[in-house]
């Protein structure tokens, strides 16, 4: 459970103080504000603030005065058009600020998305908590034998047990030693900025992360993808649910054109046109490499 | 007057619809929302949305839970500390969205600030209005004779009159021709994306501009500066007033450390230390070039 | 002809001074260095500097030591894999610096690509040349009647002649007045930063533009596209030729996956799978809007 | 020693292949290319590529044709002017690509500088080496008692020995377990993307890092500063030496205006003016807080 009673009390207090505003307001997001959505064993995401809504995307696209008079259906059509044609700037007009608690190895992937604002908990300044990510047994997988960068089948029996034992024991020992080194009881106490180097990458950190909707969609496309590491994908999935409540039309377009869509190369389109004319196209006469052909077939054969 | 009755009615309508929100809300900004602050002869800035407040800056700096319990005085001290030490990320946690109407030659300077989101009125798609910036007589200056990039004294008499006459007549003729070319009465009508090339740089455009507070301060430091061109400086000045109402503590720190402060080189600090010890330091024994020395003297002799 | 004899002499001088270097060097780009590739009536692009080559992309992808031992074929396969899977960071490891002379209305579109470095000729500081873009007769089109943001058929006869006459006369008059206003003969002379506002958007400016290969590809995908305005597309086309000589494998992948490829939505893929099974799919039973369906048909029916 | 014989042989091979180029070339940087400059116990920086030189900065500032005819002294004056007036875009016209090997906790600070291109060694894909940063005894400091974010005096005797013992033993054990978990001898072997979470933050990683000179200076100002953590400062110091050989005039200006300079607030400048008039100014009558006053005194009393 990631929240202490004090933290829950603070969230409750924040949620009890409503103010009037003239800004664009989304009831679905108001319901999310400050609440912690749990992710992994100790992590969470919380919406701290947001700016804009579906109408703000359209408004920017039209650079019109005020909200405009178009019906919701027109707004949705416009948003789908913008998404389809990679007109990204109107989506940048919406902004979200999240509070995220996450393991350091996830944070290291996440931070590679540069077009965002971040304030992370400082282990130079403050002492990290004794919280480590220990995978659930159903998420302890073997190295994939077909993909250097992925997971294969589940580890089982003794091997799984040994892995869990190692992760738990090493985390615990590392934290004990961290505390021993920084303690100033009967000694000077090692500087925090040095002591932290003893902590493994499954230790939890936290940050405020603020990003515009266009860059958030880019993050979600890569991280909610089946090829993303499970431990970051669950964060992306949790954010997807929030975004669907925030900007339903934009999220719908994102789902259809990005998450559910595919980019085909000129060669692939050529093969497709031949196939639609009734020609039998195989990898051999496709002009594609084996890897490309396998991915192409994956796109064509995906379940409807 | 930049606003039509329709536009004013739309603003009034937007300002009449208040919604409850759990987000950080600033009464001083609520008073600005949607209203047009006039700038130059046809321009304006309008606040369309905002995210965060002084407390949000501190909250991010502390990566604390909720609003924290610190008094306002502590928040102000923390904000001054952050500004003094160039800790820029907490200021990025606030965001503002403006609607700006401005001459194209101002827009061309403005857009050089890259870390912002922009949606501009499209002259490929739409027809520009007949609105041109014509400087007031008190802002028609001669080329500076000491600074290649600046203005000297006021133009007077016949010369000023001739300049005004040229600007007005050429703008008017250019717009007449623009209309003639795009007209489809009795002819096909030139494509808008081509016809626009006939319009001079004092024609007005408009855009939505969204930026975080750190990058806005950077913009304001350069554009509210005495060396900035007058026509962009008045926009920066108008934004400064809004920001002072939005995040008063952050704006106060910005005023003291950035607008009112100065960066001195190692050589200048060296001279200063010698002067404080009673030594007479001149340009000749300062190690500085004449230009640097003149600027150094400017800093020291500025009125208290 | 965009180059004066002095400029040509300078280019010749720069091209005569070869230096030894240990850096990655591309003979195809050495042949381009400093030379002006003419674009439009007075514009050009020139390669001023470059960093990296196809091997540098692979090297970064492998974070390997030195050039690695892989064959060219493997490098090409790796580059295609990176492009196909949107692994953009290795492409960022190549950088190009161009000198571009272009009309202001083209510059205004171009600058919207923010992730680049720019130094533009300053009309606050310096006097612009009397050079204006006047379209060739075969590029004077009517406003499109099906696409608000595009061109229709050619203008012909009197209408075309009148447009050309207006563009020429207004440019010429605007420049005459610009000169009159800034002249300090017998008068003070208007500040350059003010006088420039009288010049229309077809006046030429110039800049140094530096960008990494990933962001350049993004620019080229949007601006070498059939929907881009002709006057910026010709710049993109000229740059494409240079890039093909610089990083042939990366450019080949870009051509296949981006320029020649298409992104299909989940709905479109669903239709495609139904069509490949022999089902007759029409707009009515596709789930797509008319606009989407038209674009989908456009992808399927493109000439092989 | 960070380099294996194979790596050294590869560097030697790369340094033996010189090519002619027409690009701007800096002999001082050619001498650095590919060589490893050792940092900490297993780290290094290596220059992999560079673009531009001092003249390229001036060329961009002048948007001139070719190299211009100004003497070196004028170039230096121009560069100092640009630095003094925060004209940052000409410095962006130079670019450097480094190969860096560094501990993960240093990498986590470094990556916060977002305006750069990075390709890091992937521990999802590949197996990390058994290399950990163990501080030298003269760099094992106590937590500062005056600054929450800093180091105090050296740890001594038993306490220092115990810290070293912990860091070594925990690193070694963590790596043993990492190997055990991923081993596929007699078991499936844990996925690398999971096993890496057991490794502490002092494990070494490596990356290619490409950045323009303006953003590099920003990095160096913050990280070569006395308040930066020692373990990142030594990397910044090593890069400073390289930059001084690359763009000596720009680096000289950077040293004077940024590293050796100071930004004073409006309040501080006011106090300074009073002091120069002979007034006795103390913290009490300065209008500054105690912290600001202490820093102000630090600037004034720094050794000449």
From the candidates C84, C108, C223, C258, give the one annotated as an active-site residue: C223
Same domain, B77 and B210: yes
What spatial distance separates the first Cα and last Cα of chain A, rounded to whole Å?
Answer: 38
Does residue B18 sit at the A interface (CB-CB below 8 Å)? yes
Sign of CA dihedral C146, C150, C154, C156: positive
Dist. CA D291–CA C248, nearest whole Å: 58
Q: Do D21 and C30 touch (CB under 8 A)?
A: yes
Q: What is the pLDDT of residues B196-245, one digit of tens each?
A: 999 999 999 999 999 999 999 999 999 999 889 999 999 999 999 999 99
Residues 6+ apart with CB under 8 A from A163: A140, A155, D181, D190, D194
CB-CB contact of A204 with A102 (8 Å): yes
CB-CB contact of A125 with B154 (8 Å): no
Q: Do D17 and C15 touch (CB under 8 A)?
A: no
Tokens representing A55 are 């109408």
Nearest to C113 by CA among C224, C264, C269: C224
Q: How many CA atoms lie within 13 A of A77 on its CB side?
A: 11
Does residue C93 sit at the D interface (CB-CB below 8 Å)? yes
Does residue C92 sit at the D interface (CB-CB below 8 Å)? yes
Dist. CA A2–CA A196, nearest whole Å: 21
* B217 φ, ψ (degrees, to nearest 5): -60, -40
Same domain, A144 and A246: no
Helices A157-182 & D157-182 angle (0-180, nearest 10): 160
Same domain, D163 and D44: no
Same domain, D173 and D286: no
Q: What is the pLDDT of residues B249-289, one digit of tens each?
A: 999 999 999 999 999 999 999 999 999 999 999 999 999 99
Same domain, B112 and B254: yes
For residue A227, give the chain C residue with the closest CA.
C85
What pLDDT is recorded for position B1? 55
Dist. CA B212–CA B218, nearest whole Å: 10
- Which residue carries 């106060």 as its tokens? B252
Q: What is the pLDDT of residues B77-136, one digit of tens each?
A: 999 999 999 999 999 999 999 999 999 999 999 999 999 999 999 898 889 999 999 999
C285 vs A contacts (CB less than 8 Å): none
* C143 φ, ψ (degrees, to nearest 5): -60, 135
Does residue C17 sit at the D interface (CB-CB below 8 Å)? yes
Dist. CA A2–CA D161, nearest whole Å: 36
Q: Do B276 and D276 touch (CB under 8 A)?
A: yes
Helices C266-276 & A266-276 angle (0-180, nearest 10): 40
Nearest to A108 by CA among A29, A203, A2: A203
Q: How far is CA B145 from CA A146, A266, B225, in A?
A: 72, 59, 20
Residues 6+ apart with CB under 8 A from D16: none
Annotated binding site of D for dUMP: 109-112, 120-124, 196, 223
For residue B113, give the chain C residue with the closest CA.
C114
What pLDDT is recorded for position B67? 45
Q: How many domains does chain C have?
A: 3
For residue A149, give the chain D residue with the closest CA.
D125
- % of chain C at pLDDT higher than 90: 86
CB-CB contact of B134 with B161 (8 Å): no
B14 vs A contacts (CB less than 8 Å): 22, 66-67
Q: Do C81 and A299 touch (CB under 8 A)?
A: no
Same domain, D127 and D141: no
Does residue A92 sit at the C interface (CB-CB below 8 Å)? no
Q: Do C272 and A300 touch (CB under 8 A)?
A: yes
Q: Please tell me the distance in Å from C255's CA to the nearest CA on chain D.
A: 23
Q: Do A30 and B22 touch (CB under 8 A)?
A: yes
> Which residue(s) pair with D207 in the sheet?
D100, D120
* D190 φ, ψ (degrees, to nearest 5): -70, 145
User: Which residue range is the domain that position D154 belongs to?
Assistant: 135-200
For residue A259, give the chain C residue with the closest CA.
C266
Q: How far is CA C225 from CA C139, C254, C260, C262, D111, in A?
A: 17, 13, 10, 12, 35
DSSP assignment string, A200-238: BTTBEEEEEEEEEHHHHHHHHHHHSSTTS-HHHHHHHHH
Does residue D186 sit at the A interface (CB-CB below 8 Å)? no
Nearest to C169 by CA among A98, A251, B170, A39: B170
CB-CB contact of B110 with B232 (8 Å): yes
Dist. CA C127–CA C179, nearest whole Å: 9
Buried b (16+ CB within 10 A) or exposed e, C238-256: bbbebbebbbbbbbbbbbb
Same domain, C123 and C26: yes
Residues of A carrying an active site annotation: 223
Residue B97 belongs to a domain with what CATH number? 3.30.1360.170
Chains that touch C (3 or more CB pairs under 8 A): A, B, D
- Where is the domain boundary, B161, B185, B200? B200
Same domain, C63 and C99: yes
Residues 6+ apart with CB under 8 A from D24: C49, D51, D52, D53, D55, D56
Dist. CA D260–CA D299, nearest whole Å: 10
**Residue D5 backbone zone (phi > 0: left; psi -120 to 50: alpha; other: beta):** alpha
C59 vs D contacts (CB less than 8 Å): 208
Q: Do C190 and B153 touch (CB under 8 A)?
A: no
CB-CB contact of A246 with C254 (8 Å): no
B292 vs D contacts (CB less than 8 Å): 80, 84
Dist. CA A16–CA A21, nearest whole Å: 16
Dist. CA A301–CA B9, nearest whole Å: 55
Return per-residue pLDDT of chain A as tens, 304 residues.
Answer: 568 888 899 999 999 999 999 999 999 999 999 999 999 999 999 999 999 999 999 999 987 544 444 555 589 999 999 999 999 999 999 999 999 999 999 999 999 999 999 999 989 888 999 999 999 999 999 998 877 778 999 998 999 999 999 999 999 999 999 999 999 999 999 999 999 999 999 999 999 999 999 999 999 999 999 889 999 999 999 999 999 999 999 999 999 999 999 999 999 999 999 999 999 999 999 999 998 999 999 999 875 4
Q: Do D206 and C92 touch (CB under 8 A)?
A: no
Q: How far is CA A197 from CA A181, D105, D130, in A?
A: 11, 6, 15
Give C50's DSSP letter: E
Degrees to nearest 5, angle at CA B117 with B115 and B118:
125
- Where is the domain boundary, C244, C259, C274? C259
CB-CB contact of C39 with C3 (8 Å): no
Residue A24 has its nearest CB partner, among B13, B30, B49, at B49
Same domain, B122 and B241: yes
A117 vs B contacts (CB less than 8 Å): 89, 92-93, 212
Dist. CA A164–CA C49, nearest whole Å: 53
Same domain, A221 and A90: yes
Q: Do A117 and B212 touch (CB under 8 A)?
A: yes
Same domain, C282 and C208: no
B61 vs A contacts (CB less than 8 Å): 119
- Where is the domain boundary, C152, C182, C201? C201
Residue A113 assigned as binding residue:
yes
Residues 6+ apart with CB under 8 A from D165: none
Same domain, D149 and D284: no
Give D145's DSSP letter: S
pLDDT band at C261 (very low <50, low <70, confident <90, very high): very high
Largest CA distance in chain A: 83
CB-CB contact of A253 with A80 (8 Å): yes
């Amino acid at each position: 459970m990631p929240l202490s009673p004090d933290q829950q009390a603070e969230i409750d207090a924040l949620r009890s103080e409503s103010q009037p505003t003239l800004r664009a307001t989304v009831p679905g997001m108001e319901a999310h504000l400050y609440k912690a959505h749990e992710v992994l064993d100790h992590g969470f995401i919380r919406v701290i603030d947001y700016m804009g809504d579906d109408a703000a995307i359209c408004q920017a696209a039209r650079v019109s005065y005020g909200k405009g008079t178009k019906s919701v259906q027109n707004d949705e059509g416009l948003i789908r058009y913008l998404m389809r044609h990679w007109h990204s700037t109107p989506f940048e007009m919406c902004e979200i600020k999240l509070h995220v608690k996450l393991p350091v190895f996830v944070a290291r992937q996440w931070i590679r998305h540069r077009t965002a604002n971040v304030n992370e908990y400082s282990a130079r300044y403050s002492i990290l908590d004794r919280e480590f990510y220990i995978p659930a047994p159903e998420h302890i997988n073997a190295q994939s034998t077909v993909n250097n960068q992925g997971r294969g089948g589940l580890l089982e029996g003794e091997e799984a047990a040994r892995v869990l034992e190692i992760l738990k024991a090493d985390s615990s020992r590392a934290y004990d030693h961290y505390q021993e080194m920084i303690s100033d009881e009967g000694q000077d106490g090692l500087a925090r900025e040095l002591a932290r180097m003893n902590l493994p990458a499954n230790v939890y950190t936290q940050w405020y992360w603020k990003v515009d909707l266009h860059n958030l969609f880019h993050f979600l496309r890569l991280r909610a993808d089946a090829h993303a590491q499970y431990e970051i994908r669950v964060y992306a999935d949790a954010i997807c649910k929030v975004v669907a409540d925030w900007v339903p039309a934009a999220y719908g377009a994102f789902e259809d054109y990005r998450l559910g869509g595919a980019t085909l190369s000129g060669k692939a389109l050529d093969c497709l046109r031949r196939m639609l004319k009734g020609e039998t196209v195989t990898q051999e006469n496709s002009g594609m490499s084996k890897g490309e052909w396998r991915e192409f077939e994956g796109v064509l054969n995906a379940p409807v």
